[in-house]
Copies of this chain bind each other. A is one copy, B any other.
Amino acid sequence: MDKVYTIGIDLGGTNTDVGLVTSEGECLEKVNVKTSNYSDAGQFIYDVALAIQGLSRRFEVELQGIGIGAPSGNFLKGTIESAPNLRFKGVVPVKEMLEKLLPYNVSVTNDANAAAYGEMVYGGAKHYSNFMMITIGTGLGSGIVIDRKILYGSDGIAGELGHVTAMPGGRKCSCGRDGCLECYVSIRGIKETYANKVVEAGLPLDDANVDVRIIAQRARENNQQALETFDYTAQIMGRALANAQCYTSPQAYFFMGGIVESGDVLLDPIKKYFKQQKLFIYNDIPILKTSLNKNNAAILGAAAIAVCENNSTTNQKNRQK
């Protein structure tokens, strides 16, 4: 009973993984709950609680707390709000629901903030007090850390770097605005850029709609359109990092997501363009890949929320005022 254990929950639209995590950041076991099987949030949370109870009993451990990383998770409210890829509609008060069933503190945040927590507690940001985590997937998410605390803002939903304008009058974003960063720097954005390059070059359209991993592979083989695609993407991301530095002046940027973790095809040119475009008063800070293992990164991130925010229920209540 000396060790401290937490539960990290990676809540996704299709699958939810419930993991038991040690204070050293080892995931001892994870249990899957198939999110897409549930239309009722109450039943889903009940089954998640059962999974937690099962893990706690099986390993005979006392839990320090529970962290949940979820799309549209709101830390200050303890809710998931109208997440587009979840069947549960409206506002789901997951913190309240789970705390009613189990005697532990529950903290909720979005995936990108969870990734930032994970990097801070178990990963490469252990010694940084100010940094940003940027997650590149279908969209672009971000978690901003200041003085070792996630920046939540006045309403729990600060840190949406993906929707900062990269190109006024540019690509139409799903948010309704135009030219958002994630229209360019995301799987969707990279695929669109590549398709444009292929069309511009007058090449067969069949080549245009390919997986982003294929585009990365082609870039490594010096395919011109693929190289131009990553160069263009990196230029936009590099400038976005230079601009982000004008806000919080972090000590480092971290990146997570297949396309940045699988090789240097994107990260190397991002470093180059950041250096070129940063404001002269700021340092050329490190731009790093996450050091967390892909398989458990989301669970570790969620568990890290519990490590950082446990015993801070009072704080949370104060912050809501």
Contacts and interface: CB of A to CB of B under 8 A. Distances in A.
Interface of A: 129-130, 144, 146, 151-155, 157-161, 163-168, 175-177, 239, 242-244, 246-251, 277, 279-283
Contact of A129 (B151, B154, B251): B154
Contacts of A157: 249, 281-282
User: In the assembly, how many copies of this chain are there?
Assistant: 2
A233 B168 CA distance: 14
15 contacts: A146-B146, A151-B248, A153-B248, A157-B249, A157-B282, A158-B249, A159-B249, A160-B279, A161-B247, A163-B279, A164-B243, A164-B247, A165-B239, A165-B242, A177-B277
A74 to B, nearest CB: 10
Contacts of A277: 177
A220 B164 CA distance: 33
A250 B153 CA distance: 6
A280 B84 CA distance: 14
User: Which of A175, A246, A251, A279 has most chain B Cβ within 10 Å?
Assistant: A246
A106 B247 CA distance: 25
Contacts of A164: 243, 246-247
Nearest to A128: B154
Contacts of A158: 246-249
A309 to B, nearest CB: 15
A164 B166 CA distance: 11
Contacts of A280: 175-176
A155 B280 CA distance: 13
